[in-house]
């Protein structure tokens, strides 16, 4: 049986969360409080929902948590866009993180398809 830590979607989600933590950790209290908490919560929710669904051992529940994860991923991209627009991250960092998010979106959608195939 595959372990959670072996899933590429989980590994990538963890990486995105860690990268975002490092960005927010260097900010002023105001930015951390008003903006950073939201960005960190959405980014950390991606991996957390993948993990929770994986641990449910039921196809439908796993799918639901993957859908939550996908929503959190879209929210994270929105917060990253706001960070760019507010000059909180560089264009280069935004591009790097946005590309990781796009890659994760593809992988997460493929993972969802494989889970869904267990329902047929």
CATH (domain of 84): 1.20.1440.60
| pLDDT for residue 85 | 96
pLDDT at 27 over 90: no
The phi, psi pair for 57, rounded to 5°, reads 55, 25
pLDDT one-digit tens code per residue, 55-88? 988 889 999 999 999 999 999 999 999 999 999 9
CA dihedral 115, 103, 72, 81 (to 10 degrees): -160
In the structure, what pLDDT confidence band is assigned to residue 119 with cuts at 50, 70 and 90? Answer: low
Q: How many domains does the chain have?
A: 1
pTM as predicted: 0.92
In the structure, what pLDDT confidence band is assigned to residue 120 with cuts at 50, 70 and 90? Answer: very low
- By residue range, what is the domain housing residue 23? 4-117
């Amino acid at each position: 049986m595959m372990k959670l830590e072996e899933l590429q979607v989980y590994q990538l989600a963890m990486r995105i969360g860690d990268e975002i933590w490092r960005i927010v950790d260097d900010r002023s209290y105001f930015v951390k409080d008003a903006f950073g908490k939201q960005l960190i919560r959405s980014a950390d929710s991606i991996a957390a929902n993948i993990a929770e669904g994986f641990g449910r051992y039921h196809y439908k529940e796993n799918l639901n948590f993957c859908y939550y994860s996908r929503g959190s991923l879209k929210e994270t991209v929105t917060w990253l866009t706001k960070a760019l627009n507010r000059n909180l991250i560089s264009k280069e960092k935004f591009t790097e993180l946005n590309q990781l998010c796009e890659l994760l979106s593809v992988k997460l959608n493929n993972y969802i398809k494989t889970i869904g195939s267990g329902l047929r």
